Structure 1
Amino acid sequence: MRRAVVFAFVWLQDGFVRLFTHSVNTHKILLGPGIEPLRWQLGRWRAWRTFERAARRVPAYRAFLAERGVAPRLRGAALAAEFAALPEMDKDSYIKRWSIPERCVGGRLPRRGVVVDESSGSSGVPTSWVRGRDERLATRQLLQVGFSRTATTLRKQPFVLNAFSLGAWATGMNVTTSLTEVTMMKSIGPDRDKIVATMREFGTDYTYIILSYPPFLKALFEDDRIDWAQYDIVAAFGGEGISESMRAHILRYATTAFGSYGASDLEINIAIETEFTVALRQALVADPELAARLTRQREYGVLPMVFQFNPYDYLIETNAEGELVVTIVRKENINPRIRYNIHDRGHVLRMRDVVPALRSRGHTQVLAERFLDLPLLFHYGRSDLSVDYNGAVVAPDALRDVIAGDPVLVRAVENHRLISFEDATGDRQLHIALQLSDGAGMLSAAEAGPRIVAELRRMNGDFHNAIRTAPAGTLPTLAFYPHRAGPFVGDGAKLKNEYVWQLAAGEEGKWGLDLDWAAER
């Protein structure tokens, strides 16, 4: 009986949403204040309904559940616990094992209205993601709601410059298709020359909303061919996080700088930074006690990005390993993802948990910021031993395969490490460190480096594009180190090798990194 009542209620509110929220203004009703518990509960019910629909109608998901002995229905009692017991899926356990049609509702792709975009991770094999008409409409509405919140504060007509990578890449494609109908836009891609030329041509009568990856934005604003003080700029970024010192640098040129969280595997713009989350993050920097109460910074060694998301659209959980598990609760998605593990570290807090901590620590300036009563997503970066570089995800396993495929390197190199750090000027850097075996002769980075980086670029299309568009002074560096020297001085002390380091600003000097040789474009 409860199932029937819940499903009838969810069906009715879905009908209300479809009937009345095809415009941005009416869609904002679902973001109104004071209904956070309702949004939360509706989201869980919608996730329940979407799970049971996928279990019935998606061949791959039926097989996935059967392999694990999971019933295709939930009882409805203690729903949160029942849902959390469902098996997680990820790219290896689900996406790579079944074809795209098998992962679709009804076991086939619609004949019309499907857009295909792609991601290319560390394996170098592009993964295609299919998005139907209704889900693209939902994504478009969410992007437009966020855009409208920004646009209402502007003094001049907005002009969006989309500087994300163009082509079949998910972010650039979806931004263009989602915002074209509500604003003036030029999709340029990460090309500084064209952005400078466009701004010179159109002049200073617009507020330019520039969307791109953080390193590109920083390099763009340091371009002295344009007098940035004469222009109104809003910066929006994705693909990777930034430090608050980097944000402060960007804010020398832009009036605001906000980021968003998403993934090709799921959707772009799942969660966004707001005035409130930025103020909260800055409070976490200033107040270690507050950070200890709200975050896992001490555990992960990194300050999290802080976003807000709508639980009516996304159910976000954290598993025992501290990884985010995301369910897109809308039934319209033709390729459902139920409890999808993107292998990012993070956790969720609701406003009712955060506000008391801010009050007790005296952070009244944070509470004074305009905010939505949406839950908060604390994001600490990748959990799968990868690093971000200029919007690309670079995995140490790819470097391992390059070494293993080279007859000289496979004999000479004992260990490898990807080292990410922020230099003194605020630029994010990637250093490829290779430890030589005991007794091996020194190799030349200038000779071996080009072929190592070239092979990594061949294997990983995102990394290739990231190098091609990297700002000056931020190309990856590579060096060989004698056995147990430099960043490998402590190797052997732990049971497992470390393949990724995320260094705090200024720590590169502590480890004696050799940064002389840099990749070429």
Structure 2
Amino acid sequence: MIELFGERQSDLLEWKTTSDATHCAARPRSPLDEPEPHVRVVRNVLSTVCVFLVAEANTTRCRLTRLMKVKGVDRTMLDEFDELAVDVLTYSVTLHRHATDGSWSEMFFPGPDHRHPAVAQGNTHISARSVTHVGRTRPGFERALDRFCHVARRVPAYRDFLAENGIRAASVRTPEAFAEVPVVTRKNYLDRYPLDALMWDGDLAAASIWSTASSSVGPPLFWPRSETTFDDSIEVYERVFRQAFQSHRRSTLFIVGFAMGSWVGGTYSLQAALALRERGHQVSVVTPGIDSDSLLNCLDRLAPHYEQTVLAGYPSFIKHVLDQAHGDLRARRIRILLAGEGITEDWRSYMLARLGPRTRPDCVSVMYVTAATGPIGHETPATIKIRRLARNNRALAAALSWDAASPPTFVEYNPNRCYIETLANGSLLFSIDSAIPLVRYRSNDAGSITTTDELAHALGKNARILDSPCPERGFVSVRGRTDDVTLFYAVKIHSESVQDALQRQPLANRLSGRFQLTTEVDDSFEQSLRLRVEVQPGKQMNHRLRTEIRDCVTAKLKKTNREYNWLHTTLGARAEPAVTLHPYGTLTTDTQHIAASRHSRN
């Protein structure tokens, strides 16, 4: 049976590579010299579908045959598969024939009596790939659209969300239509539905592990992880550990300095280390978390037994630990994996000098991770070179819409796993398959996306930096936050918590209500929290008032922010804000809320 379709395939189709390197299309032989453009477009799509179905059918049948021989699978299963394959492939060839003779519109928009029986009975569906136009879409769009179709059918909360907003999933077929799908946020979606309704088929038991995301506005969000989520995330770790750290060749101690417990960074890193061992990496893992004394003990007593040590954690915390380390760090072959905050290239250079003069820049590598998506992307030798080049190349910085004085975090990612869009205000939107699948989810990170072709064009003569460029890869620049949040040692501090502390007695009648909180970085890259507060007219500005403000704000943050509470336990008074008092009228309204330092981002 399958061989018969293999012969038909060779009669039907002739492969050609299109000028768009992001996909290949199959061109049928036709007696028509110049078919109509709309016929040619649909025919190309259906030809690709035919070839895909034939290839998948052959692969699946081979697997069934092996199972039948090895495990004694009943022959009936193979016969049933043959019958189903004939049905599906016949339908695809019928679609192709209608495309060739120009009657394709009936196949795509049939009346209720013209549908194929399998479709009419709900046993199958035409995938999103077959209804999108064959244009120059961004890498990952077709996968994102297909995911959207599945989520709209199988996730109870999202099905209700679309209905409430008057969106018919079947009408979304193009990038333009997809861009009109309502944005999902915590407030309008995640907080409105029960957890089980947010998951595939409403099945809460599909979660293999739960993580939490810190929040000082409302309770922490719980994020479930599935095997699919974890497998996708492991690919990010695997590329970093293979390309930058070469842990498949060297015995490696992986010290996890992210917060442990239910937080994302620590649990992901522990699972990643165990998975890397299964993939042949010589990795041993230890998890001291953000206990600096315990981490230093691991560095002193365990690290000497390994060829190299990978130290993972938040940039500010890792620097704090290494500044306290004993002995010469250059003799220890330390590598650094970072997340939670961005770093400047000056910070990277400072750490590279501490680790040794011959240490490659990518041995200090940043991953882009969010609680909602897990690891999205990572720095590569190319992205680091481009970021460093942009500091002294204003034309390149302008082409990438960067501030040359402070380039954003710049990582490579897989658009087929996580499709990223941007809004007019720079907000990043994520569409990703996870235990709670997300479509156009806004996390309040700000940035931009760049394709391989766009990056090569911006680089011009420097495009050789992109070693073996892959059109299916994407690049995301992360500039900061769009909400009132500042980052201090990777801890998110929301304006509401500070505002609430300042509006309570005995402070409220002495302060105007205007304040500004920033993360400041000194010449040695040490972070400090600076709180500027405006005083009411006629009120004294003295040390006692500064102390009261510091103590009230610190107590509020410790009570409402678990990660800050942990940080305060580790750093003590260094985690508390340094308060500066300002006369009435000297802090403007637009700086009333928290302003994040340009040295930090999420």
TM range (shorter): 0.7 to 0.9
For 1:458 and 1:39, locate their aligned partners in 2 and report how far apart those are by CA, in whole Å: 51
Aligned residue-pair number: 469
Q: Is the 8 A contact 2:518 2:596 kept in 1?
A: yes
Would the alpha carbon gap of residues 14 and 463 (structure 1) be closer, same or farther in structure 2, given more than 3 Å must change? Answer: farther
Q: Single out whichever of 458-467 and 6-15 deviates more from structure 2.
A: 6-15
For 1:410 and 1:13, locate their aligned partners in 2 and report how far apart those are by CA, in whole Å: 74
Q: Is the 8 A contact 1:6 1:45 kept in 2?
A: no
For 1:165 and 1:72, locate their aligned partners in 2 and report how far apart those are by CA, in whole Å: 40
Q: TM-score normalized by structure 1? A: 0.82
Would the alpha carbon gap of residues 423 and 11 (structure 1) be closer, same or farther in structure 2, given more than 3 Å must change? Answer: farther
Is 1:161 the counterpart of 2:268? The answer is: no
Would the alpha carbon gap of residues 385 and 151 (structure 1) be closer, same or farther in structure 2, given more than 3 Å must change? Answer: same
For 1:435 and 1:253, locate their aligned partners in 2 and report how far apart those are by CA, in whole Å: 41
Is 1:198 the counterpart of 2:298? The answer is: yes
Is 1:119 the counterpart of 2:216? The answer is: no
Would the alpha carbon gap of residues 275 and 145 (structure 1) be closer, same or farther in structure 2, given more than 3 Å must change? Answer: closer
% identical equivalent positions: 22
| Matched letter for residue 306 of structure 1 | F
The 5 A counterparts of 1:303-382 are 303-328=407-432, 330=433, 333-360=434-461, 363=462, 367=465, 374-382=473-481
RMSD: 3.2
Is 1:436 the counterpart of 2:535? The answer is: yes
Gaps in structure 1 of 5+ consecutive residues: 21-36, 506-521
Match of 1:56 in 2: 153
- Superposed CA deviations along residues 145-185 of structure 1, whole A, max 9, x for unmatched, are 33222343787411110110000001111110122242211
Q: Is the 8 A contact 1:164 1:213 kept in 2?
A: yes
| Matched letter for residue 300 of structure 2 | R
Would the alpha carbon gap of residues 334 and 302 (structure 1) be closer, same or farther in structure 2, given more than 3 Å must change? Answer: same
For 2:197 and 2:327, locate their aligned partners in 1 and report how far apart those are by CA, in whole Å: 52
Q: Is the 8 A contact 1:204 1:230 kept in 2?
A: no
Q: Single out whichever of 67-76 and 243-252 deviates more from structure 2.
A: 67-76
Would the alpha carbon gap of residues 174 and 224 (structure 1) be closer, same or farther in structure 2, given more than 3 Å must change? Answer: closer
The 5 A counterparts of 1:34-113 are 43-76=140-173, 79-110=174-205
The 5 A counterparts of 1:380-399 are 380-399=479-498
Would the alpha carbon gap of residues 343 and 113 (structure 1) be closer, same or farther in structure 2, given more than 3 Å must change? Answer: closer
Correspondent of 1:134 among 222, 225, 228 = 228
| Matched letter for residue 200 of structure 1 | D
Q: Is the 8 A contact 1:132 1:334 kept in 2?
A: yes
For 1:9 and 1:499, locate their aligned partners in 2 and report how far apart those are by CA, in whole Å: 57
Secondary structure of 1:251 counterpart: helix
| Matched letter for residue 227 of structure 1 | D
For 2:564 and 2:52, locate their aligned partners in 1 and report how far apart those are by CA, in whole Å: 43
For 2:570 and 2:49, locate their aligned partners in 1 and report how far apart those are by CA, in whole Å: 49
Greater fraction of residues in helix: 2
For 2:259 and 2:135, locate their aligned partners in 1 and report how far apart those are by CA, in whole Å: 38
Larger Rg: 2
Secondary structure of 2:308 counterpart: strand
Would the alpha carbon gap of residues 134 and 156 (structure 1) be closer, same or farther in structure 2, given more than 3 Å must change? Answer: closer
Match of 2:347 in 1: 246
Would the alpha carbon gap of residues 199 and 179 (structure 1) be closer, same or farther in structure 2, given more than 3 Å must change? Answer: same
Q: TM-score normalized by structure 2? A: 0.71
Would the alpha carbon gap of residues 64 and 14 (structure 1) be closer, same or farther in structure 2, given more than 3 Å must change? Answer: farther
Is 1:406 the counterpart of 2:505? The answer is: yes
Match of 1:478 in 2: 579
Match of 2:29 in 1: none
Q: Quick one: higher RCO (CA 8 Å, sep 6+), 1 or 2?
A: 1
Secondary structure of 2:525 counterpart: coil
For 1:12 and 1:305, locate their aligned partners in 2 and report how far apart those are by CA, in whole Å: 43
For 2:513 and 2:228, locate their aligned partners in 1 and report how far apart those are by CA, in whole Å: 51
Secondary structure of 1:469 counterpart: helix
Shift of 1:136: 2.0
Would the alpha carbon gap of residues 47 and 149 (structure 1) be closer, same or farther in structure 2, given more than 3 Å must change? Answer: same
| Matched letter for residue 502 of structure 2 | I
Would the alpha carbon gap of residues 211 and 265 (structure 1) be closer, same or farther in structure 2, given more than 3 Å must change? Answer: same
Secondary structure of 1:339 counterpart: strand
Shift of 1:403: 1.9
Correspondent of 1:272 among 378, 393, 397 = 378
| Matched letter for residue 62 of structure 1 | R
Is 1:418 the counterpart of 2:489? The answer is: no
Shift of 1:193: 2.0
Q: Is the 8 A contact 2:422 2:429 kept in 1?
A: yes
Q: Is the 8 A contact 1:140 1:179 kept in 2?
A: no
For 1:11 and 1:130, locate their aligned partners in 2 and report how far apart those are by CA, in whole Å: 33
Would the alpha carbon gap of residues 497 and 479 (structure 1) be closer, same or farther in structure 2, given more than 3 Å must change? Answer: closer
Q: Is the 8 A contact 1:396 1:499 kept in 2?
A: yes
| Matched letter for residue 102 of structure 1 | A
- Superposed CA deviations along residues 205-255 of structure 1, whole A, max 9, x for unmatched, are 420000000011111221242321220011010001011111111112333
For 1:407 and 1:74, locate their aligned partners in 2 and report how far apart those are by CA, in whole Å: 58
Match of 2:558 in 1: 457
Gaps in structure 2 of 5+ consecutive residues: 1-41, 64-133, 278-282
Would the alpha carbon gap of residues 291 and 309 (structure 1) be closer, same or farther in structure 2, given more than 3 Å must change? Answer: same
Would the alpha carbon gap of residues 323 and 305 (structure 1) be closer, same or farther in structure 2, given more than 3 Å must change? Answer: same
Q: Is the 8 A contact 2:138 2:451 kept in 1?
A: no
Match of 2:365 in 1: 258
Match of 1:226 in 2: 327
| Matched letter for residue 435 of structure 1 | E
Secondary structure of 2:438 counterpart: coil
For 1:305 and 1:418, locate their aligned partners in 2 and report how far apart those are by CA, in whole Å: 22
Would the alpha carbon gap of residues 424 and 84 (structure 1) be closer, same or farther in structure 2, given more than 3 Å must change? Answer: same
Shift of 1:304: 0.9
For 1:8 and 1:218, locate their aligned partners in 2 and report how far apart those are by CA, in whole Å: 56
Shift of 1:340: 0.3
Would the alpha carbon gap of residues 48 and 9 (structure 1) be closer, same or farther in structure 2, given more than 3 Å must change? Answer: farther
For 2:592 and 2:53, locate their aligned partners in 1 and report how far apart those are by CA, in whole Å: 50
Q: Is the 8 A contact 1:275 1:371 kept in 2?
A: no
Would the alpha carbon gap of residues 46 and 4 (structure 1) be closer, same or farther in structure 2, given more than 3 Å must change? Answer: farther
